[in-house]
Amino acid sequence: MGTLIIPFTFTLLWLSVFGNSALYEIIHGNAAFAAEAVAHPERGFYNLLAQYPAFTFSASVATITGLLFYVTSADSGALVLGNFTSKLKDINSDAPNWLRIFWSVVIGLLTLGMLMTNGISALQNATVIMGLPFSFVIFFVMAGLYKSLKVEDYRARAPTAIPLRDRSACRIA
């Protein structure tokens, strides 16, 4: 339960505080901030932090937090991709470390390549392009879950089977 509530609460607070701070700057006439945030969205967060005291500290904390988030997500993604692309001996084992390292390098190179070619818009476009096929996957997962829940409900409501009599009792004497 904590893995659902804590990240959601943190994200809600984060977006509320920084989103409202950015809106406050724009509403109160900081046109330079607004223009820079629209022209270069990847710089918008750091420009917002520059409006407040202790910019160096807050920018350092934000950068380290973002880096930890990326590394954790990439590591989890590499583990899943490694498990998908290897033949595992049992359900509790993981892919070999070399395969996990391979997928980590591939994820890092793809991210770096997209950032170098077209900046943040390339990542946004890739997200939108991959979102449509993934929405079909999610649809099939939901349909499978619905079917599984219906089968489970049917089995729970079904009367128990009458035990078969011993065949020796059916013999004619």
The pLDDT assigned to 162 comes to: 60
Q: How does pLDDT run across 44-53, given as a tens digit for each residue?
A: 889 989 988 9
Q: How does pLDDT run across 21-64, given as a tens digit for each residue?
A: 999 988 998 888 889 888 887 788 899 899 889 999 999 999 99
In the chain, which residues have pLDDT < 70? Answer: 1, 161-173
Sign of CA dihedral 112, 114, 117, 119: negative
The pLDDT assigned to 103 comes to: 92
The pLDDT assigned to 149 comes to: 92
The pLDDT assigned to 169 comes to: 54
Q: What percent of the chain has pLDDT over 70?
A: 91
Tokens of 52: 């407040």
Angle of helix 41-50 relative to helix 31-39, nearest 10 degrees, comes to: 150
The pLDDT assigned to 60 comes to: 94
Would you kindly state where each structural domain of the chain is located, as residue ranges?
Answer: 1-52, 63-118, 120-156
The pLDDT assigned to 172 comes to: 58
Instruction: Decide if 86 contacts 96 (C-beta within 8 A).
Output: yes
Residue 77 CA to residue 79 CA, distance in Å, equals 5
Distances (CA, A) of 37 to 45, 102, 108, 161: 8, 36, 26, 68
Read out DSSP for 47-60? HHHHTSS-HHHHHH
Q: pTM higher than 0.75, yes or no? A: no
Residue 34 CA to residue 117 CA, distance in Å, equals 25
The pLDDT assigned to 1 comes to: 66
